Homo-oligomer: A and B are copies of this chain.
Amino acid sequence: MNILFIGSGAVGSYFAGKLSQTGAAVSLQARSDYEHVKIHGVHIHSVDGDFHYQPRHVVRDAAELPAKPDYAVLCIKVVEGADRVALLKNAVGPDTAIVLLSNGIEIEPEIAQAYPDHEIISALAFIGVTRTAPGHVHHQAYGHLSLGSYPSGLSDKARWLSEAFQSAGVLCNADADIATARWQKCVWNAAFNPVSVLTGLDTGRILNGQEGLIRALMQEVVAIAAAVGHPLPDTLVDKSIHGTKKMAAYKTSMLVDLEAGQPLETEVILGNAVRAGHKAGVPIPHLETVYALLKLKEAQRDRCSEVMSVSNQNAGNRLHTPFRPGA
């Protein structure tokens, strides 16, 4: 099996590396890291032991590959300006399964529409991992996966991929209901990420001060998930809170992105949940409030960037007005 990872960020580089170690034919499509990775490969500094690997092929564009891969694993953040459909264009042949390894909910429909004849596998990573330099990744914590066929079930290719990760030492859960797994992860993400961005605080300080707000946000996500056919366990909110309290205080990925000047996963983590809630008629005033504030916060940051960048004077207004007066 030939596997192409598209995206040389921390998540893609790490999981590609784990599969590489089993001798699988793993290639990497890189952009800014292309030169470095082509020559030096990728170094993973990991809590589980450092390792290095050289991908079978390192390409700037999948058109350079000698053959279409069996799996095209798209490992990029789903943010404004990330053209996922275009990135997959030269990567998929008739028999290529598309694997979407990204945060968020409802990230699949856009790809399913653009590639209606391709099998789609949806995957979630639970990992603390950071790209520290070109071709260098620091793996700090966790490192497991959930994956399943989209919209549900487990195809042969999904099972094979899950087993390949397992044999590479990656705890990989083959989940026939991956959409529900996405909602479950969203319960944590949609609560902690926006609150951390709006306040600048880590999970410990947030829970110490306003656990009630986090619970209210989580409960609304649980209510949306149930309304759209993905009921979650009653105990999930309590377990998420207690689990987070047991962890070391943690700076969310969205706050890290904000501080690094990176685009935020606001729409796939929060916007898609809010839209699903509106469509299903679920009252979600707490989520609406943090979503509206987060859009303003993004606008404020964009404005600061505009002031700093004279070449960016025609930047469009990125504000959305998703709020429903009186909702």
* Complexed CA–CA distance, A85 and B103 (Å): 54
A239 adjacent to chain B (CB < 8 Å): no
Q: How far, in Å, is A216 (CB) from chain B's closest CB?
A: 7
Q: How far, in Å, is A138 (CB) from chain B's closest CB?
A: 25
A205 B321 Cβ-Cβ under 8 A: no
Among A288, A289, A297, find the residue whose CB has the most chain B CB atoms closer than 10 A. Answer: A289
B300 A210 Cβ-Cβ under 8 A: no
**6 more A-B contacts (CB under 8 A) besides A215-B326, A285-B289?**
A206-B296, A211-B323, A212-B323, A213-B289, A216-B327, A285-B285
Q: Residues 207-223 of chain A: 1 if any B CB is under 8 Å from the residue's CB, otherwise 0?
A: 01111110110010000
- Residues in B with CB closer than 8 Å to A286 are 285-286, 288-289
Chain A interface residue count, Cβ-Cβ cutoff 8 angstroms:
38
- Residues in B with CB closer than 8 Å to A198 are 198-199, 293, 296-297
How many copies of this chain does the complex contain? 2
- Residues in B with CB closer than 8 Å to A208 are 317, 319
A326 B216 Cβ-Cβ under 8 A: yes
Instruction: Mark out the residues of chain A between 290 and 307 whose CB falls within 8 Å of any chain B CB in the assembled complex.
Output: 290, 292-293, 295-297, 299-300, 303
B303 A205 Cβ-Cβ under 8 A: yes
A164 adjacent to chain B (CB < 8 Å): no
Closest 7 CB pairs between A and B? A212-B323, A285-B285, A213-B292, A289-B289, A199-B296, A209-B319, A210-B292
